[in-house]
Every structure is written in C-alpha cells, then in structure tokens.
Amino acid sequence: MNDEALNMSLRKFLKVVGVTSQQEIEKAIRAAADAGKLTGKKELKAQMVLTIGDVSLTHKVDGTIELE
C-alpha cells in the first residue's frame, strides 16, 4: 500500500463528500423553509454515516445545524 496515494485519494474523496453534502443540505433546508416546515425551528439535528464495507467500517457523526 502506498501511503501517499492513500492520503491523496482520501483527501479527494472527503472534498467531494464535503462539497456535495453541503449543497444537498442547503437545498433540502431551503425547500423545507419554502414549504413552511421549519417555522419556529432554530436548529436541526443531523447525522452523517460513513460506511466502507470492504474494511467493515461504519462511522457515525451526530451534530446540529443552526438556522439562526
């Protein structure tokens, strides 16, 4: 295994995950707000799950997205 190649590949993957996830979250929140589903909400609970089956990895991150 080439550690440098692994590192670069992980960074590229995580960059795509970060950018596309942010876009999808923003789109979903705007649609919910436009539909009146977020009235009175100041924050949203969020959860991200990363899985890599070949290495039996499941990693969960819980967080909060503040709206105000």
What is the domain extent for residue 11?
A: 3-66
Region 31-53: mean pLDDT is 97
Total number of domains in the chain: 1
Region 55-65: mean pLDDT is 98
Region 26-54: mean pLDDT is 97
Region 44-55: mean pLDDT is 98
pLDDT at 16: 98
Q: What is the pTM of this model?
A: 0.88
Identify whether the C-beta of residue 46 lies closer than 8 Å to the C-beta of residue 65.
yes
Token digits for 66? 């503040």
Which of the 8 DSSP states describes residue 1?
A: -
